[in-house]
Amino acid sequence: MTDSKRVALVTGASRGIGAAIARRLARDGFTIVINFAGRVSEAEKLAASIEEAGGQALTAQADVSDPQAVARMWDAAEAAFGGVDILVNNAGIMRLAAVAAADEAVVDGQIAINLKGPINMMRLAAQRLRNGGRIINLSSSVVGLYQPTYGVYAATKAGVEALTHVLSKELRGRNITVNAIAPGPTTTALFLEGKPQASIDQLTKLAPLERLGQPEDIANTVAFLAGPEGGWINGQVLRANGGIV
Ligand SMILES: NC(=O)c1ccc[n+]([C@@H]2O[C@H](COP(=O)([O-])OP(=O)(O)OC[C@H]3O[C@@H](n4cnc5c(N)ncnc54)[C@H](OP(=O)(O)O)[C@@H]3O)[C@@H](O)[C@H]2O)c1
């Protein structure tokens, strides 16, 4: 199989980091499955822009926390392109609350999307990803920083990191690597929405490089792990954060 026919499924690719990953992997020659939950027109616009640039893309609505929905999405990707080579588990939400104030919605919502979602996708990938493929999970540098109010969110990401290590070992013999990328604060709606300017300014200065991450910084890191030069990295968590931790 030639590299140009390799297929990358990116969850949560209608905006933010996932959209940047989809654009970058398309530029690198991958056919892209753009998963999203709600923002259909953004997903379709992204697919159109990839196709206009000479690439190939399919949009696929599926809530990652729903095992039947993601199985249907995987079926659709296989029907369209013959198989999946790269899974990027990017879909996620963040609901900040001190542990004392973390109500059921905060807890269940984040566990469903940030932890059960990647488990659903990793189970499918373990069964169906083509040999020689790559699994790339999005964690967060809050695992390491451990700031107040990030507890439930950080717990879901710590779970994703644990699964990354275990699955990399379970896939022995398939030539599939499993890694996580842990971004620091990155300029997307997930990070910016609802934050006072003072705390954005403080977080901007946290890294010795004195800026926020851009979605493209994270997409570059995914491209490295997905491409031929990242092939010897396996079972690792790569913090892409300008040096904050
Ligand atoms: N931004 C940061 O500072 C930062 C730092 C560390 C880690 N991360 C991680 O990076 C990933 C991407 O974050 P982001 O900042 O790009 O967030 P974002 O801008 O809010 O985008 C989130 C994406 O996830 C999708 N999504 C949400 N719930 C979903 C579900 N149930 N099923 C399928 N897709 C769903 C959204 O699609 P719809 O809107 O179409 O539903 C959207 O495309 C997340 O895992 C996040 O935890 C972000």
What's the pTM? Answer: 0.98
4 pLDDT higher than 90: no
The identity of residue 8, as a single letter, is: A
Q: State the Cα–Cα distance between residues 20 and 216, nearest whole angstrom.
A: 6
1 pLDDT higher than 50: no
- Give the per-residue pLDDT at 2: 41
- Give the per-residue pLDDT at 3: 42
DSSP 114: I
Mean pLDDT of the residues in the chain: 97
* Distance in Å, CA 12 to ligand 1 centroid: 6
Q: State the Cα–Cα distance between residues 153 and 139, nearest whole angstrom.
A: 10
Partners of 124 in the beta sheet? none
**Quick check: CB of 144 below 6 Å from ligand 1?**
no
Catalytically annotated residue among 153, 188, 217, 219: 153
Which CATH number describes the domain made up of 3-240?
Answer: 3.40.50.720
Residue carrying structure tokens 């439930």 = 152
Ligand 1 binding pocket mutation candidate from 10, 42, 88, 90 (most atoms within 8 A of CB): 90
Tokens of 189: 């709606």
Q: Which of 78, 59, 83 has the alpha carbon at shortest distance from 176?
A: 83
Domain ranges of the chain: 3-240
**Atom of ligand 1 lying closest to residue 37 CA:** 41
- Give the per-residue pLDDT at 5: 83
> What's the whole-number mean pLDDT along residues 173-185?
98
Q: Which of 196, 162, 17, 163 has the alpha carbon at shortest distance from 91?
A: 17
> What's the whole-number mean pLDDT along residues 185-201?
96
Structural Rg of the chain based on CA atoms: 17
**DSSP element (H, E) containing 36:** strand 31-36
Q: State the Cα–Cα distance between residues 205 and 71, nearest whole angstrom.
A: 42
